[in-house]
Amino acid sequence: MKKIALLIVCMIVTMMSKSQDYSFSKNGEEYEFSEVVNSSFSKSTLFSNAKAWVMDAFNNYKAVVQMESETDGKIVVKGNYEFLPKLTYDNYKKFTYERTYFTITIDCKDNKYRYRINDIIIKSINYYSGSLYSDDREFESEITHESHLYEKESAIKRKASIEQDISNAQQTLKGKKLEKAIEGYKKNLAEAEAKIEYENDIYYAEYEFFDSICKSIKKRMMINDDF
């Protein structure tokens, strides 16, 4: 598995009500988190705060900064983050996780600033150990935030179907045949339940990750170090 190239270290996952909307905001067809925030600070103070946030949030400032202009009061960074699941759910030493790419732009003016997180690309990564191939390999595919809900619903239906199969087997089979059938069904049931947990957890984690970035930017931009 690849190392995390650019690691957000300031993320704090907050406890939120599951009744709230966890869907990503959009600008047209593209995912985007943005806000214009009023401030009593000068452009230079806000820009200093923006730079300090980047330094605190990423483990390699030079690697992530794409554009930096104190004159324009603007800084642009690119990063990525990996979401690792709690569970795996197959027999082929396949480990499924996710890598998300994004751009963060902070524009500063006197008495206000705007942050914007866009260019959000979500990729599902299937990592295989050397059990199927001669070496470790990764296969990735681009997905949407909403796809986790579709996958979760599909796994819920599959779980219900397996539970019905177990019930049918208990009514029609006996002895060793029943034991063998139940053993197979329970394996499939465990895989479906792990899939449900994975898709559920990562759907919420995606939103909470970007929400935590927004909150950490706003918190850092409130500091006045201008003596």
Burial of 101 (0-12, 13-18, 19+ CB in 10 A): middle
pLDDT value for 14? 41
Q: Tell me the residue range of the domain where 203 lies.
A: 26-220
Is 126 part of any domain? yes
Q: How many independent structural domains does the chain possess?
A: 1
Q: What is the CATH number of the domain that holds 42?
A: 3.30.530
What are 145-188's pLDDT values in tens digits? 999 999 999 999 999 999 999 999 999 999 999 999 999 999 99
What are 70-120's pLDDT values in tens digits? 999 999 999 999 988 665 545 556 778 899 999 999 999 999 999 999 999
Is 18 part of any domain? no
What are 47-77's pLDDT values in tens digits? 999 999 999 999 899 999 999 999 999 999 9
Q: What is the pTM of this model?
A: 0.84
Beta strands, E only, the chain? 26-27, 30-31, 33-38, 65-69, 74-83, 94-109, 112-128, 137-143
Q: CA 160, CA 165: separation in Å to the nearest integer?
A: 9
What are 9-26's pLDDT values in tens digits? 333 334 445 557 899 999
Q: CA 147, CA 167: separation in Å to the nearest integer?
A: 30
Is 215 part of any domain? yes
